[in-house]
Every structure is written in C-alpha cells, then in structure tokens.
Copies of this chain bind each other. A is one copy, B any other.
Amino acid sequence: MAEEEGVTKKKSENFSEWYHEVIQKADIIDQRYPLQGFLVYKGNGLAILEKAIGFLEDLLNANGYTKCYFPPLIPESLLKKEEAHIRGFQDEVFWVTRAGQNEMGEKVALRPTSETAMYEMLKLWIRSHRDLPTKIYQSTSVWRYETKHTRPLIRDRELLWNEAHSLHATLKDVSKHMKEMIRIYSKVYEFCAIPVVFIDVKTGLFAGAVQAIEAYTIFPDGKVLEMGSINNLGQRFSKAFDIKFVKEDGTQQYVYQGCYGISERLVAAVVAIHGDDKGLVLPPNVASVQAVIVPIFGEDDENIIKYCKAVYRKLRKKFRIKLDLSREKTPGWKFNHYEMLGIPVRIEIGKKEVESKTVTLVRRNDREEFLSHFEKLPRELDNILKSIQTDMYKKALSEFQKRLSEAKNMDDLRKILNEKGGLVKTEWCGKQDCADNLKAESKGGEIIGVPYGVKEKANSSCVWCNDKSRYIVYVGNTY
C-alpha cells in the first residue's frame, strides 16, 4: 500500500487529524458533498449505524413499540404549537418556502425533530385509557442548521437517528418507562462496545422536556460526547396538542409523554474509541464485513482458489464474509487495506493451509493469530468474533473508567480537565452563575448533571463558590 493510501496521522499524537483522515479513508463518510455540514455515508459507515439501529429496533419491537413513518415537512403553525419547543429550535430550522414555480402559502419546516408532526396525529389516535401506553418510533433523518462549528458524525446539519415516543396515563408510568429506555439504550451501547454513563442533566435540556437523562461517553482526547437522550415531556405537549384520553371513571385527562433519541454519533464513537494508528477497528456486531479471506498466492494457486471458495461457502451463511481473489495487489497490501477498514478477522490461506486443511485467523484488534481446522471453522470463527467483541468492550471500559475522576476544589478540577479530561465528579450549589464562571475559568468545563442512579447525596460545598452544595455533578469538556 502506498503511504498516501494508508492512515498517515497518529491517533495518540493528534486525535482530531487522525479522526478526520480515518473516516474519509476507511469508507465511513465522504465529507466533500457541496453543502456545509451534510455528509455522504459510504458502505462501511452506514453499516455501523444500520446494525446498531437494527438492534435497537428489535428491542423496541419486543417492548411493544410500533415502527411508523411521518413526513419530514412540518407546517409552521404546527411547529409553533409548544412554546418552549419552538423557542429552542427556531434558529436551527431549514424552511421550505417554494414549490415548483410557486411561493407556498405557509412556510414549512424540515423537521428538526418530530414531536409536533407526531403529536398532531396522536391526538387523533388516542381515545381511551385502553389506548395507553402507546409507543411508536421511526428511524429517519432530522435537520438542524447548526451555527456552531460542525464536525463530521459529531455535529452535523443532518442527523440520522432513531426517535421513539411514548404516551402514558400517569407521570409515574413515564418515569418507569424511562428506566426501561435506559436499559434498552445501555444494550445498544454495549452492542457497539461503547462505555457510557447516564446523567440526569441540569443544563441544556431538550426543548420542551421537563427532565432529561443523557448518556455520555469519553473520547480519546478527553472530551465527552452526549450519545443519546431520554426525555420526560410531562404534559407540556399533550396540553399544546390537546392529546386527551377518557379515564376508567369517565373523566378526561391529558396524557403524559416521553421521547427518546439516539443518533449517528454511535458511528463517531465506534471509530474514535476503537480505532488505532492503522485505521478502524470494528466491533464484530457492527462490522459490514466480519471476516475477509485473503489468499497467499505463489505455488499451487489453483488449489488455493478452490480452497478459498470452499471456506467462503462454509462461512457465508452464518457470517458476513468477503472473499478477495484479486491478483492486482499483494497480500501485504491487502492486509494493510483490510486492517484500515477495521474488518475484525483476516483469514489467510496459502499452500500450507491448503495442505493441512486449516486456515490462519488473525484478529484485527490485537493481531493474535489462531489456526483452525476447516471442519471446526464456523464454531471457531463464532467464538473468536464473540471474544473480540467482549475484549473490545472490556478494553474500552477500562480506558473509560480511568477517565472518571473526583475533584474537591477548583485547582484539582482544572488540573484533571487539563491533563486527562473525562468526567469529573464534584459538588455544586445549583446556581447558574457558578456553572457559567466555572466554565469560563476552566476553559470549557461544563456542569452536565447528576450521575444517574447514584444514591450518594451532596454533603460538602460548591466547587466554585464554596456555599453549601446541592448536587453531586459530573463536569466535562463537551464536544
């Protein structure tokens, strides 16, 4: 492989340059589409997202959700029905104003999210307590005119995501379902081998939410990234959209609602957390190709080809396999190329393997080699893929845990944020002023919120003002 074809940047030296080079060269995305902040997803990148979202959809279906599809265009009058919602999104909306040669009567938004489109219809679908809970989702795109600096797969103007929405009879039912969604999202992150913590956020809630639990992961540069959001909407939207149901006692009541979103940032995290200086390292669960068969030509090539095909036929039903019989490139070039693409296992077949009816298997994540007999291959490959998946998650989790810290005072907090980043537990009085000052002074350290599920109570003083603290919080430099 010519030097310029491989990855030239070092992940440990300049994470950002490495990231941009890898996503472009390893067929994740193409950033050259002539519209700022919009990406073309190539085969390798789209597969990660589709495998992850497909896994999520199965979990949602099993939980009683129905998959639907709503139009991406929302008339302005609908989008404006819930006040906090439109306030939050009005500067980010793309507007359709012309159709063919005509000006449109009312301008129409490209959805920045789908609450207002969905809830206008749910008003018509919900009648009685027997209709609750109602749970629907869609896997689509939303568009937000980000004015901040865009970063591919981290902050784009087009988000590819799954958004789920649930309607309940009581606030308690929403809270209970939010716990289920935390359990479901946790499985999706683990499926992608991405470690996260959930945080009950105290600043920057989803526009229209009364409570938000968000998942955060930590990137190799120490910055933290929001990876999904589980929102309690209370009755704000049901009141704005008039979504009522008849209770068992015959009286009417507004429903309680929750909404949940998870996006293409899954792809960013898979690339960033697992990649190395040679390129991508893909968890087998989300790899478009799980193993590539590379022949080592030289002697007895005809039998090598025959044997490669037999191996391919033996594996292709159970696994996602690529067979590369091309002769234009050397085995060495192919090794490098498929390592860059992150394919979890390489299957090498030369004269030696043909004669002994074996194959050589090489794991992408740690380059460990194994010999497998032809007959045992499906079971052994299955074991190897499973152990790669587990090992990658364990390794990522251990790196993640090294970046969880605690700080008692501003000196420690500054030092940790500066040296290793990650999430730093500290205490806070709850005043926005302190959060703002802390952020300015620490060059970006943001008070995100309260660690979810941690019983420990605040019992000391605010890290900034030293007044009595109210919350134990995570602070981090967010993307």
Contacts and interface: CB of A to CB of B under 8 A. Distances in A.
Interface of A: 30, 32-35, 38-43, 46-47, 50, 66-73, 75, 78, 90-101, 107-108, 110, 117, 120-121, 124-125, 130, 141, 143, 145, 147, 158, 160, 328
A95 B94 contact: no
Given A34-B120, A41-B70, 7 more contacts: A33-B71, A35-B71, A38-B71, A40-B121, A42-B66, A72-B158, A98-B107
How many copies of the polypeptide does the oligomer hold? 2
A171 B121 CA distance: 49
B67 A46 contact: yes
Nearest to A49: B69
A69 B161 CA distance: 13
Contacts of A72: 72, 141, 158
A110 B94 CA distance: 11
A156 B362 CA distance: 51
A51 to B, nearest CB: 12
Nearest to A27: B66
The 3 A-B pairs of least Cβ separation, nearest first, read A41-B69, A95-B98, A38-B71
Given A67-B43, A67-B46, A92-B100, A73 B38 contact: yes
Contacts of A101: 90-91
Contacts of A125: 30
Nearest to A29: B69
A66 B78 CA distance: 38
A94 B68 CA distance: 24
A124 B67 contact: no
Which of A67, A71, A141, A147 gathers the greatest number of chain B CB atoms within 10 Å? A71
B98 A94 contact: yes
Contacts of A99: 93-95, 145
DSSP majority for the A interface? mixed
23 contacts: A30-B124, A32-B124, A33-B70, A33-B117, A34-B120, A35-B73, A35-B108, A38-B71, A39-B71, A40-B69, A42-B68, A43-B68, A46-B67, A46-B69, A72-B72, A72-B141, A73-B158, A92-B100, A93-B99, A93-B100, A94-B96, A94-B99, A97-B97
Nearest to A156: B71
Which of A33, A108, A145 gathers the greatest number of chain B CB atoms within 10 Å? A33
Contact of A97 (B35, B50, B95): B95
A68 B95 contact: no
Nearest to A326: B130
Contacts of A107: 98
A4 to B, nearest CB: 14
B71 A130 contact: no
